Structure 1
Amino acid sequence: MNYPALMTDLYELTMLAGYFDEGMHEQPAVFDLFFREAPYRGSYAVFAGLQPALEYLENLRFTADELAYLKSLGLFKPAFLDYLKGFRFRGKLTAPPEGTVVFGQDPLLTVEGTLAEAQYVETALLNIVNFQTLVATKAARLSVAAGDGTVIEFGLRRAQGPDGGLSVGRAAFIGGVRSTSNLWAGQTYGIPVRGTHAHSWVMAFPDELSAFRAYAECFPDSCVLLVDTYDTLNSGIPNAITVARELKDQGHDMLGIRLDSGDLAYLSKEARRLFDEAGFPGVKIVASNELDEHVISSIRSEGGRIDIYGVGTRLATCSGEGGGALGGVYKLVRLADQPKLKVTSDIAKSTVPDRKKLLRVIDPEGTFLMDIMCRAEETVHPGDLVYDPTNPARHKTVPAGVRLEEIRRTVMEQGRILHPAPSLEEMADRCAEQLKRLPNGSLRLVNPHRYKVSISPQLHDLREALITAYEKRQPGAV
């Protein structure tokens, strides 16, 4: 999707104009995009949104209509508007692959370029990466909660606008929800589409059985019947069994039924029993109705027999405790040859300065143990002491016998995308594989294991030196 250059906040452009007036706009700058806490009170997030972000950067330019609008605001000088005519992103981007499991404080994107171009793209990059990472994380939590069951994305009608619905389909696939009801997402991204019918279909016919028969006649090889319009156990399921028999006599198999209300654990057990007794063990049971990972987990713990979970509102809107939005931020970490950091009385919100690498510590069995940020030219070894970036008094030693793997790579140089986009299947497979490599307890919905993200000795010393210099009011220290 092509995003307009004006998909930004006004203050990005006023800062850009100010840098231009001050002659600062061509200074080399480095920004990091990261979040501090994993969403949903969980331990991890699933990185998504990189490819749309790269396409935004590669295609960024101001149209004549956009420049005319900016001129009409009366805020910007003619020389600055002339400068914008040739404005492009010609910088560098470093990032992990989409589908990578990431953690609080990890630099997801490092953006390098002139101060003008690296600053201007802040809002758009946060918009794209924050939302898609949040959706992918919610989808991963749903997929984990479903166990052997399948999850379908049903959220378009409750999504945050049309583009929100499209982005949900893409990001949810990366997180493990590999089908959608959204035809636009299906067409755009090649995602398998799934769906049944609404209660209004049943209500439009003289009776429920007539409605079921008509639907089966239209779709004999993909028939899923919604059975709770009137009475699930005394009407819907018996009528569905009747239609299943009729389809079988005609050489077809009913795919399934959908439950959209009531006690889903109990109803699914009864539905499974009734269809099995009628000789249809292959009929799938689909459930919907305000599902989320906690409801799904509860259904399974009570012995529910649901095969497919249709999750709409709470996936598309990313709702849930600790959800709603990913708190991603975008901070300047280097300007020209000077490392930069945000200084605050709350050390947990002080940023980590300078250009850096992100290393993942992996044990001999392939389990992820911790992430370590270090300076770009620094090497970290087993046995080194590393520090908690939110509380430098806490530190630990990198264990012996582990390997350290750099999990990011350069994905854009001089404003051009370097690598072909992997398929959504590859991204989703990466996510599924990485979730299996998290430490025990990381996938718990309540009180999960807290994955450690640390900073290296050199980064720790640099940050301490910069903070000390600031406190002494040394010019140019921060």
Structure 2
Amino acid sequence: MTYSALLTDLYELTMLAGYHDQGMHQRPAAFDLFFRHNPFRGGYAVFAGLDTALSFLEELSFKSDELAYLDSLKIFKPAFLNYLSEFRFTGKVTAPPEGTVVFGGEPLLTVEGGLAEAQFVETALLNIINFQTLAATKAARIKIAAGAATVLEFGLRRAQGPDGGLSGARAAFIGGVRSTSNVLAGMRYGIPVRGTHAHSWIMAFPDELTAFRTYAKEFPDSCVLLIDTYDTLQSGLPNALIVARELKERGHDLAGVRIDSGDLAYLSRQVRAAFDEAGFPGVKIVASNELDEHVIESMRREGSRIDIYGVGTRLATCAGEGGGALGGVYKLVSMNGEAKLKLTSDVAKATLPDRKKVLRAIAPDGSFILDLIALQDEEVLPGTVVFDPANPVRHVRIPEQARLVDLRRMVMENGRRCLPTPDLESSADLASAQLQLLPEGCLRLVNPHIYKVSISAGVNTLRLKLMTRIQSKYRI
């Protein structure tokens, strides 16, 4: 998908105009993109949106009609508009692979380049990464709650516009929901597409049994019947059993039935028992209707017999406590080789200055111990003391037996990708594998274990030094 260069906030352009007018636009700068708190009050996030973001950067340019619109605003000088006519992103991006499990406070993307180009891409990158990471995380939570059952994404009709539907389906796949009802997402991203029929199909025929028979005739090898239009147990189930027998006589199998209302856990048990007793143990039970990770977990505790969960609204819109938006931010950390720090009255919200790396301490059994944010050229070894970024008085020591792995790599140089793009299947596999390596309790939906993200001695010392300098300069 191609995004317009005008997919930005006006202040990005006014800042660019000022930098250009002041001759500052080519000064080397670095920005970090990160979020402060894990979404959904959870124990982790799943990083997504990188491929989309890199495509935006590679294709970034101002078209003639876009320049004409900016000119019509009467706030930009001709020299600046001429500069924009040749504007391209030529910088560097460092990021983890999509599907990496990440945490609040960690730099996800670091964007380096001239001040103008690195600043300008802020809004679009936040738009892309914030939503896709949020949706991938929501999908991971839902898939974990579903256990061995399959989850189908079908939130397009409730998504935040067409791009939200496409980006949401893509991100959900990375998070573990590996099928969608969205046909365009299927074509564009190679995601398997699934679907049944609506209640209107049943209502369009003289009676429910005729509707079922007709659908089975049209799609004998992929027939899933919606059985709750009138009454799930008294009408839909008996009629579905009739059609299952008729399909069997013609050499086909009923694929499944879907329940979209009522007490899904109870109904699924009744439906399962009926099909098993009739000799159709292979018929899958699909459940839908305002599902999310909490509802699914509750139904499983009640002994539901659901094989496939169709999750729409609450996945596509990332609904839930602590959801709705990731809250990612984009902060200047270095300019002209000088570390930069944003300081607030809350030390926990002070940014981490300079160019950095994100290291993961991994135990001999492969499980994750903690993450560490260190200066780019700082040497960190197992056994090193590391600090709590919110309270530097608190510190721990990296275990001697740990192995340190850099989570990020350079993915773009000179405005072009410098690594092959993994397919979505690989990204989804990465997320699934990493989620299983988290410390016990991180996957809990309520009051999860808080995974430790620390800062190195170098970051801690530099931040305190810059904080003291700023406080002295501004007498705060």
| TM-score category (smaller protein) | over 0.9
Equivalence for 2:393: 393
Equivalence for 2:357: 357
C-alpha separation in 2, matches of 1:418 and 1:140: 29
Q: CA deviation at 1:172?
A: 0.4
Secondary structure of 2:40 counterpart: helix
> What is the identity, as a one-letter code, of the residue corresponding to 1:473?
K
Equivalence for 1:288: 288
Equivalence for 2:11: 11
Equivalence for 2:456: 456
C-alpha separation in 1, matches of 2:422 and 2:26: 33
C-alpha separation in 1, matches of 2:149 and 2:456: 41
C-alpha separation in 1, matches of 2:217 and 2:337: 71
> What is the identity, as a one-letter code, of the residue corresponding to 1:133?
T
Alignment of 1:103-114 (within 5 A): 103-114=103-114
Secondary structure of 2:97 counterpart: coil
C-alpha separation in 1, matches of 2:446 and 2:31: 34
C-alpha separation in 1, matches of 2:249 and 2:129: 51
Alignment of 1:50-449 (within 5 A): 50-449=50-449
Secondary structure of 2:473 counterpart: coil
C-alpha separation in 2, matches of 1:384 and 1:167: 41
C-alpha separation in 2, matches of 1:116 and 1:388: 33
C-alpha separation in 2, matches of 1:337 and 1:144: 44
C-alpha separation in 2, matches of 1:205 and 1:393: 72
Q: CA deviation at 1:474?
A: 8.0
Q: CA deviation at 1:87?
A: 0.6
Runs of 5+ consecutive residues of structure 2 not aligned to the other structure: none
Aligned length: 476
Secondary structure of 2:242 counterpart: helix
C-alpha separation in 2, matches of 1:374 and 1:117: 25
Secondary structure of 1:242 counterpart: helix
Q: CA deviation at 1:96?
A: 0.2
The reply to whether residue 20 of structure 1 matches residue 24 of structure 2 is no
C-alpha separation in 1, matches of 2:474 and 2:10: 32
> What is the identity, as a one-letter code, of the residue corresponding to 2:438?
L
> What is the identity, as a one-letter code, of the residue corresponding to 2:446?
V
Runs of 5+ consecutive residues of structure 1 not aligned to the other structure: none
Q: CA deviation at 1:419?
A: 1.6
> What is the identity, as a one-letter code, of the residue corresponding to 1:98?
E
The superposition leaves residues 202-225 of structure 1 with CA deviations (integer Å, 9 ceiling, x where unpaired) of 011111101000000000000000
Residues 466-475 or 276-285, more deviating: 466-475
The superposition leaves residues 224-267 of structure 1 with CA deviations (integer Å, 9 ceiling, x where unpaired) of 00000001001101100000000000000000000100001100
C-alpha separation in 1, matches of 2:228 and 2:390: 51
Q: TM-score, normalised by structure 2?
A: 0.99
> What is the identity, as a one-letter code, of the residue corresponding to 1:330?
Y
C-alpha separation in 2, matches of 1:391 and 1:318: 31
C-alpha separation in 2, matches of 1:197 and 1:285: 14
C-alpha separation in 2, matches of 1:474 and 1:385: 32
The reply to whether residue 32 of structure 1 matches residue 32 of structure 2 is yes
C-alpha separation in 2, matches of 1:446 and 1:352: 29
Q: CA deviation at 1:22?
A: 1.3
Q: CA deviation at 1:393?
A: 2.1
Q: CA deviation at 1:382?
A: 1.7
Equivalence for 1:44: 44
Q: Which runs of 4+ in 1 moved over 3 A?
A: none
Q: CA deviation at 1:383?
A: 1.8
Query: How large is the Cα RMSD of the aligned pairs?
Result: 1.0
Secondary structure of 1:221 counterpart: coil
The superposition leaves residues 91-130 of structure 1 with CA deviations (integer Å, 9 ceiling, x where unpaired) of 0000000000000011000000000000000000000000
C-alpha separation in 2, matches of 1:162 and 1:471: 47
The superposition leaves residues 2-60 of structure 1 with CA deviations (integer Å, 9 ceiling, x where unpaired) of 11100000000000001111111111000000000000000100000000100100110
